[in-house]
């Protein structure tokens, strides 16, 4: 297994996976809507073959699917989710799996989301739909379910550029976090050992932290006071009913325990939150603040 098509190749986890594969002598085909973007050009400089295209136009990808051994399937993020966006994502994932089977792709690694199975109660056609379709397809494959990205803290919705930490969860509700670089490393390991991972679903995340613990770490590492903004559930419902129900699910049930022993048997140590802040977070959060001035 040497030729891998990476969808979402200029996104956070797609690019992390592409660079990991390139560093380990894989031939990487990077799917991007805009091959002239800085992110795409950097991938090309690193040795990736850029593929202009979109999973929504699946027919245009027939030839590239025929060329590769493996597919890293991650769907574009949706920041304001709804029943319609969930349906669209499920359809795109199913079409990609169908084409992979038709064109003889040997192995599909699908990146879902932590707790996808629990979300099926209020998201009947979403990421868990794609997971089930992969298993029913008869293809060799695996599913990775990443936890919350540490890099998501850089999104405007968290408000760090303005000195805020906008939080939708209960203050003391701990959830696991993960650095996208670790997702890329684990994806690479799965492709290197695809026969051992065939049929496996892996919940993937590191240390669990409450919003208050995240806030304390941010204040300590940035050496500044940050305003904690708790978003009421009724406000979340006004913004996105789907997201509000997700927050309710996490608050009431939480996530299933992650098998850290299994993960550490492949990656001895994941990036901790403090480590991510020291290596990446502090610099990028300060850049957010300077951009807003």
Report pLDDT digits (tens) over 138-187.
999 999 999 999 999 999 999 999 999 999 998 889 999 999 999 999 99
What's the whole-number mean pLDDT along residues 51-79?
A: 93
DSSP classification of residue 277: I
Instruction: Using the predicted structure, report yes or no on whether residue 28 has a pLDDT greater than 90.
Output: yes
* Cβ–Cβ < 8 Å for 159, 165: yes
- Token readout for 20 is 């990991």
What's the whole-number mean pLDDT along residues 278-290?
A: 88
Q: Which residue has the tokens 């690019």?
A: 15
Show the beta-strand stretches assigned E in the chain. Answer: 3-6, 27-32, 49-52, 70-73, 107-111, 140-146, 148-149, 164-167, 175-178, 201-204, 208-209, 227-230
Cα–Cα distance for residue pair 156/238, rounded to 1 Å: 18
Task: List Cβ<8 Å contacts ≥24 apart for 229-236.
Answer: 229/159, 229/164, 229/165, 229/166, 229/167, 230/167, 230/171, 231/166, 231/167, 231/168, 236/168
Which pLDDT does position 293 carry in this prediction? 47
DSSP character string of 26-51: -EEEEEES-TTSHHHHHHHHTTPEEE
Report pLDDT digits (tens) over 91-105.
999 999 999 999 999
Query: Residues 28, 32, 34, 39: what is their CA dihedral angle, to the nearest 10 degrees?
Result: -60
What's the whole-number mean pLDDT along residues 61-66?
A: 96
Phi then psi dihedrals of residue 283, to 5 deg: -60, -50
Report pLDDT digits (tens) over 120-143.
999 999 999 999 999 999 999 999
Instruction: Using the predicted structure, report yes or no on whether residue 79 has a pLDDT greater than 80.
Output: no
Domain 3-149+179-205+257-270 - what CATH class? alpha beta
Domain boundaries, the chain: 3-149+179-205+257-270
The CA distances from residue 191 to 12, 75, 96, 196, 250, in Å, are 19, 19, 18, 10, 31
Report pLDDT digits (tens) over 255-274.
999 999 999 999 999 999 99
Q: Which residue has the tokens 């999973």?
A: 55
The pTM of this model reads: 0.95
Cα–Cα distance for residue pair 41/51, rounded to 1 Å: 12
Query: Residues 219, 222, 227, 229: what is their CA dihedral angle, to the nearest 10 degrees?
Result: -80
* Cβ–Cβ < 8 Å for 139, 266: no
């Amino acid at each position: 297994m040497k030729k891998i098509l990476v969808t979402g190749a200029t996104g956070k986890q797609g690019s992390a996976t592409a660079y990991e594969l390139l560093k380990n002598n894989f031939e990487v085909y990077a799917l991007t809507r805009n091959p002239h973007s800085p992110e795409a050009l950097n991938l090309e400089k690193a040795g990736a073959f850029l593929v202009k295209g979109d999973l929504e136009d699946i027919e245009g990808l027939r030839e590239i699917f025929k060329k590769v051994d493996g597919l890293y399937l991650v769907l574009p993020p949706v920041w304001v989710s709804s029943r319609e966006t969930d349906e669209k994502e499920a359809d795109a994932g199913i079409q990609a799996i169908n084409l992979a089977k038709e064109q003889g792709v040997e192995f599909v690694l699908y990146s879902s989301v932590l707790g996808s199975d629990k979300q099926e109660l209020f998201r009947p056609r979403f990421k868990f739909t794609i997971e089930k379709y992969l298993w029913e397809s008869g293809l060799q494959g695996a599913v990775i379910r990443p936890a919350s990205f540490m890099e998501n803290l850089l999104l405007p919705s968290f408000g760090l550029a303005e000195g805020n930490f906008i939080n939708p969860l209960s203050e003391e509700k701990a959830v696991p976090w993960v650095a996208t670089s670790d997702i890329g490393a684990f994806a690479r390991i799965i492709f290197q050992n695809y026969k051992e991972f065939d049929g496996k679903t892996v919940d993937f995340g590191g240390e669990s932290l409450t919003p208050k613990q995240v806030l304390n770490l941010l204040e300590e590492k940035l050496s500044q006071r940050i305003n904690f903004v708790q978003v009421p559930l009724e406000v979340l419902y006004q913004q996105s009913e789907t997201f509000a129900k997700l927050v309710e699910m996490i608050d009431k049930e939480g996530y299933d325990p992650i098998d850290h022993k299994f993960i550490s048997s492949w990656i001895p140590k994941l990036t901790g939150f403090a480590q991510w802040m020291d290596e990446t977070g502090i610099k990028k959060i300060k850049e957010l603040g300077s951009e807003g001035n």
